[in-house]
Structure 1
Amino acid sequence: MSDISFEYNVPVFAGAPIDGTEPTHRDTPAYESLDWATTREGVETAETLGFDAAWVPDHLMLGRDHAEYECWTLLSAMAGFTEDINIGSLVLCNDYRNPALVGKMAATLDVISEGRLELGLGAGWHEREYDAYGWEYRDGFERLLRLDEAIRLIKQLWDSGADGAQFDGDHYRIENAYCTPGPFQEPHPPILVGGQGEDVTLKLVAKHADIWNTDVFNGDVDTLERKINVIEAHCETVDRDPDEIEYSWDGHILCTRDEEKLDRLLDLMTPIQFEESYTDRPDITRDNADEYFIIGTPEECAAAIERRIDAGVEKFMGWFVDFPDTHGMELFADDVIPQFR
């Protein structure tokens, strides 16, 4: 049980309602206005409470008033004001940055943080951001091909040592590219891949990832079990030991003994409608939220964690939805985490 880790998703945008009762974003439904001191205090609190990692999403304008902190800049700042907690991207959109530069940036940040970086990568999905910032939004299959190539390039860059890296792919090319100093960690920072598609994305996980990350729509136990089984089948196809891959759960946490607070925040967050690709799935509602979230008393939260551990999950990445109130995070750290350590 000591291998189970509990990790903190950094509120990089405010999500409280502007008008009416609909939150701007359900990851941060009680955060009314983005404020650096408040966001920083959340990270510092997570480290003080003993969380294992702090993760930063990679978007540019999701929050209330379109205000959001940029991922890599924030990770660099966090490396400076924290000491022990790991830091990671959840997940970098591959199309937003040249992957050779990402490899170099990641190596530098791993050195600066003394080996605390976990590099999360994904193919990208938020078309409005692509359009707003002038990036080409390619079809999903091509974005995945580019991600596959990017991960191979980054690993080759990290492994090149003093010789310089060469890579000649369909989408990316480098010649005599040096990554010195290389990463602090041996052989390199763990690579997390986020995504759900069973035919292509999860095969890419089997080929390249040290960690697989799911999302709130796939966080129920039945779906987790099915996705993990798919990854393990792909591992057999690509001749990889599935034990080399960690499985993570990424979702909403509300730990409280206050029934009024629980009802108020759940009423604010739900319903959550599934995306068009999930046409066979019911919306997340007040009635079925406990299938997807970790919510309730510490005892109820621990039971939800146990069910996911039984499915194969080892890393729990949580959005504490009562933030900037930290009572839920503190109760979780005091009464839930010790049950798994």
Structure 2
Amino acid sequence: MRFGIFIPQGWRHDLVDIDPADHWRVMASLAQRADEGTAWESIWVYDHFHTVPVPSEEATHEAWTLMSAFAASTGRIRLGQMCTCTGYRNPAYLAKVAATVDVISGGRLEMGIGAGWYEHEWRAYGYGFPDAPQRLRQLGEGVEIMTRAWRDGEVTFSGREYQVDGAIVRPLPLQQGGIPLWVAGGGEKVTLKIAAKHAQYTNFSSDPETFVRKRDILHSHCAAIGRDPREITLSANFSTVVAATDAEVADRLDAIEARLAPYLGDAIGGYMAEYRSGAALVGTPAMIVERLRALQAEGLAYAIHYFPEHAYDRTGVDLFEREVVPALR
């Protein structure tokens, strides 16, 4: 199994109580630490503008600005977004931005892409909020534009959502064949069909039953177009809290709740439900290895982990690196 790790950027209220002037220092230090080790293949950020589960005035650092900064300040680790919202940026422009970041990084960029969902954010930034069919058309056309741009260095495209007329996208990415595409989302009729046609990676639910269903639907779409499904790596994201004992796990959850409660108010219960209900990846190293191994048997090959304590306490990440990664790699 391969492993990625999210760098806290504020979106999930994961930089609260840290002076905004120090945010980049914290993010950069965590990215550089991951870069210097061997446990993590990739670092990730979210493509969002406003915090969740409630919009607030807490900082949320922009994903592609961070991609460029990480590209220049790391040397080994791969760089991804989970996931870029097609509707937030013209896809020809996005192809240009991504190609530039790939060059800065020396060919280490991953391209996460999806249809978007955060309605409050869309409307706040003046994008409206197109219905799901339109957002999915944007995704399909955007992926087509980007892949052509990275292949040819120039793209002309006339679709329902986007029109591009001779957009020159140079420099080309350094990676042969273009930047690897991660099509995120589990939409069974459209998103997974786009993934079957274009993706090198998918990213959908880590719930075991749902994961298996989405995997099978993806494979059926691959069969329909004659593509070998083994060409697509299956990934999932995990909200992860790990400690040596059950008692220490409980202490970590209490500390997370205490830190966030002043900022989330009544939403704190819903936020913590993921961690306290078993939906998140919470427990001792042995418990976490068992859960990941079960998904690995169903085809999971790449696990990307979000540690809510990461900016404040790295001991959980250290424990994961020492005891979980070697057991599964």
Q: TM-score, normalised by structure 1?
A: 0.85
Residue 136 of structure 1 deviates from its aligned partner by 2.1
Letter in 2 for 1:70: E
- Alignment of 1:328 with 2:311, yes or no, is no
Say if 2:9 and 2:27, in contact at 8 Å, map to a contact too. Answer: yes
Aligned pairs for 1:15-54 within 5 A:
15=12, 25=13, 28=14, 31-33=16-18, 35-50=23-38, 51-54=40-43
- Alignment of 1:177 with 2:174, yes or no, is no
- Bigger fraction of residues in helix: 2
Distance 1:312 1:159, change over 3 A: same
In the alignment, the residues of structure 1 paired with residue 118 and residue 60 of structure 2 have an alpha-carbon distance, to the nearest angstrom, of: 14
Secondary structure at the aligned position of 2:113 is classed as strand
Letter in 1 for 2:289: A
The number of aligned residues is: 310
In the alignment, the residues of structure 2 paired with residue 271 and residue 226 of structure 1 have an alpha-carbon distance, to the nearest angstrom, of: 29
In the alignment, the residues of structure 2 paired with residue 177 and residue 168 of structure 1 have an alpha-carbon distance, to the nearest angstrom, of: 12
**Out of 221, 224, 227, which is 1:234 matched to?**
221
CA deviation vs aligned residue, 1:21-51 (integer Å, no higher than 9, x gap): xxxx5xx4x8543522222222122223321
In the alignment, the residues of structure 2 paired with residue 246 and residue 225 of structure 1 have an alpha-carbon distance, to the nearest angstrom, of: 14
In the alignment, the residues of structure 2 paired with residue 47 and residue 255 of structure 1 have an alpha-carbon distance, to the nearest angstrom, of: 21
**Out of 307, 314, 327, which is 2:294 matched to?**
307
Which 5+ residue runs of structure 1 have no aligned equivalent? 16-24, 274-282
In the alignment, the residues of structure 2 paired with residue 53 and residue 118 of structure 1 have an alpha-carbon distance, to the nearest angstrom, of: 9
Equivalence for 1:57? 46
CA deviation vs aligned residue, 1:57-77 (integer Å, no higher than 9, x gap): 000111653311000001100
- Alignment of 1:7 with 2:29, yes or no, is no
Say if 1:271 and 1:285, in contact at 8 Å, map to a contact too. Answer: no
CA deviation vs aligned residue, 1:279-334 (integer Å, no higher than 9, x gap): xxxx7473x41xx3322222222111111111111111100122221001111111
In the alignment, the residues of structure 2 paired with residue 14 and residue 109 of structure 1 have an alpha-carbon distance, to the nearest angstrom, of: 22
**Out of 156, 168, 177, which is 1:166 matched to?**
156
Say if 2:196 and 2:227, in contact at 8 Å, map to a contact too. Answer: yes
Equivalence for 1:278? none
In the alignment, the residues of structure 2 paired with residue 255 and residue 272 of structure 1 have an alpha-carbon distance, to the nearest angstrom, of: 20
Equivalence for 2:64? 72
In the alignment, the residues of structure 1 paired with residue 287 and residue 9 of structure 2 have an alpha-carbon distance, to the nearest angstrom, of: 28
Residue 336 of structure 1 deviates from its aligned partner by 1.4
**Moved segments of 4+, more than 4 Å:** 267-273
In the alignment, the residues of structure 1 paired with residue 222 and residue 60 of structure 2 have an alpha-carbon distance, to the nearest angstrom, of: 37
CA deviation vs aligned residue, 1:192-242 (integer Å, no higher than 9, x gap): 01112212221221122111112xxx3121111111011111111222211
**Out of 107, 115, 118, which is 1:115 matched to?**
107
Equivalence for 1:207? 197
Secondary structure at the aligned position of 1:204 is classed as helix
Which 5+ residue runs of structure 2 have no aligned equivalent? 258-267
Residue 135 of structure 1 deviates from its aligned partner by 0.8
Letter in 1 for 2:4: E
Q: TM-score, normalised by structure 2?
A: 0.88
In the alignment, the residues of structure 1 paired with residue 322 and residue 235 of structure 2 have an alpha-carbon distance, to the nearest angstrom, of: 22
CA deviation vs aligned residue, 1:47-102 (integer Å, no higher than 9, x gap): 23321100110001116533110000011000011000000111111111110011
CA-based RMSD of the aligned residues comes to 2.1
Percent identity reads 33
Say if 2:42 and 2:78, in contact at 8 Å, map to a contact too. Answer: yes
In the alignment, the residues of structure 1 paired with residue 11 and residue 225 of structure 2 have an alpha-carbon distance, to the nearest angstrom, of: 42
Say if 2:173 and 2:179, in contact at 8 Å, map to a contact too. Answer: yes
In the alignment, the residues of structure 2 paired with residue 261 and residue 62 of structure 1 have an alpha-carbon distance, to the nearest angstrom, of: 28
In the alignment, the residues of structure 2 paired with residue 113 and residue 5 of structure 1 have an alpha-carbon distance, to the nearest angstrom, of: 20
Residue 114 of structure 1 deviates from its aligned partner by 1.0
Secondary structure at the aligned position of 2:9 is classed as coil
Letter in 2 for 1:46: A
Secondary structure at the aligned position of 1:182 is classed as coil
Letter in 2 for 1:133: Y
**Out of 141, 145, 148, which is 2:140 matched to?**
148
